[in-house]
Amino acid sequence: MKNLNIKELLEKLSTGEISKDDFFQLLKTLEIEKDSPELTQAFLDIFDGFIPDETDQPIKPKNNSD
């Protein structure tokens, strides 16, 4: 098994293509590197696209009453 870096593990998690072994490696890495700038940057790189440009506007839930 290849040891992936934090960014590779987060990419797999964000796409839902993470294996059980990779997920446990991610958890271990998060515990070890919780205060590292590399971890912070990896989260920003991967998940920044999920946040709308208008970050001060709350995200409204969809109305599914149809």
Query: Distance between terminal CA atoms of the chain?
Result: 48
Domain count, the chain: 1
Residue 22's domain spans which residues? 6-50
pLDDT of residue 28: 92
Asked, for residue 37, whether it belongs to a domain, the answer is: yes
Asked, for residue 65, whether it belongs to a domain, the answer is: no
**Is there a contact between 3 and 25 (Cβ–Cβ < 8 Å)?**
yes
Asked, for residue 25, whether it belongs to a domain, the answer is: yes
Asked, for residue 14, whether it belongs to a domain, the answer is: yes
Asked, for residue 18, whether it belongs to a domain, the answer is: yes
**Is there a contact between 22 and 9 (Cβ–Cβ < 8 Å)?**
yes
Q: What is the pTM of this model?
A: 0.61
What is the per-residue pLDDT across 5-34, written as a single tens digit (0 to 9) for each? 888 888 898 889 999 999 999 999 888 888
Asked, for residue 60, whether it belongs to a domain, the answer is: no
